[in-house]
């Protein structure tokens, strides 16, 4: 009788799309689509959905690390979802509160600063834009190195 040899199974490329944090990401996209579709007709539901999506943004990263389901696809999904939801919120706020230029300026700052951070990370050959251990900028180190400070900046400001 031959013994069964255990052969390591490589995850298929499709499996990364079914990671738990990525499913949370898809849920965030759907919630945001619905929230922005009803933003003017049901402000309370919009706020609730946007807030839940915001909370899920923190949960998906924790789940990815907890279950070792970190992926480039998930990181990009998360970042793109963040940028689009922030951009949509700022555009809506620019229509509700006049003058809207303040919100449009914040939109330009958000997109520009994230693009510059990602591009500089790419030029330095780092795997993540959150890798700031070599940075001389104390604010980057505080923001990306201390989750409580990051949460305060995202929620409290």
**Side-chain-facing half-sphere of 122: CA atoms under 13 Å:** 6
pTM score: 0.78
118: three-class secondary structure by DSSP: helix
Contact 144, 132 (CB under 8 A): yes
DSSP letter for each residue of 52-110: HHHHHHHHHHHHHHHTT---HHHHHHHHHHHHHHHHHHHHHHHHHSSSTHHHHHHHHHH
Q: What domains sit in the chain, N to C, each tagged with a CATH number?
A: 19-125 (1.20.120.1760), 127-157 (no CATH)
Mean pLDDT for the stretch of residues 25-52? 97
**Side-chain-facing half-sphere of 153: CA atoms under 13 Å:** 11
Q: What percent of the chain has pLDDT over 70?
A: 90
What is the band of 39 on the pLDDT scale with cuts at 50, 70, 90?
very high
Whole-number average pLDDT of the chain:
86
- Cis peptide bond N-terminal to 99, omega within 30: yes
Residues annotated catalytic, as ranges: 82
């Amino acid at each position: 009788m031959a013994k069964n040899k255990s052969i390591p199974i490589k995850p298929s490329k499709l499996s990364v799309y079914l990671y738990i944090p990525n499913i949370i990401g898809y849920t965030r996209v759907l919630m945001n689509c619905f929230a922005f579709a009803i933003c003017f007709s049901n402000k309370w539901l919009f706020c609730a959905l946007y807030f839940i999506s915001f909370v899920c943004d923190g949960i998906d990263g924790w789940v990815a690390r907890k279950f070792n389901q970190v992926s480039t696809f998930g990181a990009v999904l998360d970042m793109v979802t963040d940028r689009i939801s922030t951009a949509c919120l700022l555009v809506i706020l620019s229509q509700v509160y006049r003058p809207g230029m303040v919100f449009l300026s914040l939109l330009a700052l958000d997109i520009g600063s994230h693009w510059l951070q990602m591009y500089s990370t790419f030029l330095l050959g780092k795997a993540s834009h959150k890798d700031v251990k070599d940075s001389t900028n104390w604010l980057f180190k505080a923001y990306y190195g201390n989750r409580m400070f990051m949460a305060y900046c995202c929620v409290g400001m």
